[in-house]
Structure 1
Amino acid sequence: MSSPVPLSSLRSMGSFLKTKRIEQKVSQKKIALELGVTDAFVCRIESGEKALPDYGIPAVARVLGISTSDLVSRKLEYYREVIENEIAIANTKTA
């Protein structure tokens, strides 16, 4: 099993969401209520420790006034980075 590594796309998405949330004057609590999670979890998303759950993309986009396609694109970049990381780990184990 691979060890977790900081992923730049995760930090980037978290930073983007935090910036948009602050611009729209939306609280972490409001986002948490929309997602059905704690505001501490939202804080972890914004800091890049956790990924925005796929099911939350439409709600967060609506609350923050951004397009779902923008969030989906950012999430796909995160998945790409995760896959590349897993491949790199697998290659070092087989080398």
Structure 2
Amino acid sequence: MFDMRNLTKLKKLDENAPDVMKAFWAFNAELFKDGAIDVLHKQLMAVAVALTTQCPYCIELHMKDARRAGANDTMLTEAAMVAAAMRANATVTHASHLFKE
């Protein structure tokens, strides 16, 4: 099912909802510019979120963008471990619901 070539089909969204998609692409482009947080750190956050949501397209795209912004293997590994910790932490804290009074 996962195939990066599928992303070419996104043009169908542009055709079927041009105003919404134009706004989406503009939002996305603006978001990933330097701001209070630089592009490198935004892309590392995006990698961590992509790993957490397990979107292979997002993982691939944001990993490449993170590397273009200067991320190295160590930085990407730490981002992955942050994502892993967040998932584990959510499991542990939600375990509190197992114990009813």
TM-score band w.r.t. shorter chain: 0.3 to 0.5
TM-score normalised according to structure 1 size: 0.39
Tell me the TM-score normalised to structure 2 length: 0.37
* Structure holding more helix per residue: 2
The structure with more radius of gyration: 2
